Amino acid sequence: MKRLAVIHTGGTIASRPNPDGPGVTPQAAPSVPGLPGVIVHDYQPFNLPSPHVTPAHMLALAHLIEQLAPGHDGIVVTHGTDTLEETAFFLHLTLATQTPVVLTGSMRHAEEASWDGPGNLLDAAQVALHPQSRGRGPLAVFGGDIYDARTVTKVHTTAVDAFGGYPGPIGRIDRVGDSAHLRYFAMPEARPVYAPPALPAHVEILYAYAGWQGEGYAEADARSDGLVIAALGTGNLPAELLPLIARTTTSGKPVVIATRTHAGPVIPIYGYPGGGATLVEAGAIPASFLNAHKARLLLLVLLSLGRDLGEIRQVFEAGAF
């Protein structure tokens, strides 16, 4: 018999119309549809809508997974879809286990005609129990597509087909009758593990726009141990930001430049004031292919491990995640 752990954390996959107030809220955790030959153990460390999930919850989840991994062949985490990619990437950074960990959720709740919970849960369970899923780091499974935690992102607010992210799925699961057909399109990769015992650092994200003159920058800088900016295009900003960023990096505090564009790397191409090449010259760190909220988690983890500006720059530059 195979052993599967299912860790329920809330989200729409656990939600129904609220009996005591407006809207839809997390209630009872869903059960995994029949899996012959599999012993399922259920856990529920919290039951939250995912906008209420914090890095502290992610850290607790990582500890629970490391504790359960040696006794199970696979682990499924059900999670709200709004911040699922952040939890997936946090687990990608912090988990050492080779046991497959698969995150899934649903876009429709249990009382809707198009309830997508049971199918996603069954797909996730079969992916988690598949030997080819070992050593790939946490995966996200939605609608039969299997995504890497680094690239997966929510691309639609309401559609059942809500997940994507450049360059797309790394695998696919389909079923014919009871048998699962699983294909991966990439080999598993070795990855470094960053496991902070706690997360004392404070990192904020600023979002760039045409005409931004740095409003809010000084306040965010004063509160933070590091900043992430969702910049424009390949990682460019209005000229007014250049001296502000130079001052922050000179003080030894990291400023990571991500992009608000939905795909592609941040690279230092442009040499006009605020262009990516000038930001890098001023000490800013390009986020590579990570979106701003994933770059924030990497920076939070590295700062919480006590890494300095040079070491943080090396991790981002080498793509060591």
Ligand X SMILES: NC(=O)C[C@H](N)C(=O)O
Asked about 81 being catalytic, the answer comes back as yes
User: By three-state DSSP, how is residue 1 classified?
Assistant: coil
Q: 90 with 62: CB under 8 angstroms? A: yes
Residue where the block lists tokens 């997390």: 26
Asked about 12 being catalytic, the answer comes back as yes
Catalytic member of 25, 78, 81, 248: 81
Residues touching ligand X, count (CB under 6 A): 9
Q: Which residues are annotated binding-site positions for substrate?
A: 50, 81-82
Residue 246 beta carbon to ligand X: minimum distance, rounded to whole angstroms: 38
Catalytic member of 12, 83, 87, 94: 12
Nearer to ligand X, 12 or 153 (CB): 12
Question: In whole angstroms, what is the distance from residue 110 CA to residue 107 CA?
Answer: 10
Q: 230 with 286: CB under 8 angstroms? A: no
CA 271 to chain centre: 32
Structure tokens at 291: 């979106």
Q: 201 with 307: CB under 8 angstroms? A: no
Question: In whole angstroms, what is the distance from residue 73 CA to residue 1 CA?
Answer: 10
- Applying CB under 6 A, among 50, 94, 153, 288 the residue interacting with ligand X is 50
Q: Which amino acid is at 267?
A: I
Structure tokens at 1: 């018999």
Nearer to ligand X, 157 or 179 (CB): 157
Among residues 316, 320, 218, which one has the least CA distance to residue 258?
A: 316
Mask: binding to ligand X, 55-94, rule CB under 6 A, as x and -? -------------------------xxx------------
Residue 79 beta carbon to ligand X: minimum distance, rounded to whole angstroms: 7
Residue 267 beta carbon to ligand X: minimum distance, rounded to whole angstroms: 32
Structure tokens at 101: 């960990």
For residue 243, count other CB atoms closer than 10 A to its CB. Answer: 13
Query: Applying CB under 6 A, does 143 fall inside the site for ligand X?
Result: no
Residue 78 beta carbon to ligand X: minimum distance, rounded to whole angstroms: 9
- Applying CB under 6 A, among 102, 107, 241, 302 the residue interacting with ligand X is 107
Mask: binding to ligand X, 8-27, rule CB under 6 A, as x and -? ---xx---------------
Nearer to ligand X, 12 or 133 (CB): 12
**Catalytic residue numbers?**
12, 81
Residues that bind ligand X (CB under 6 A): 11-12, 49-50, 80-82, 105, 107
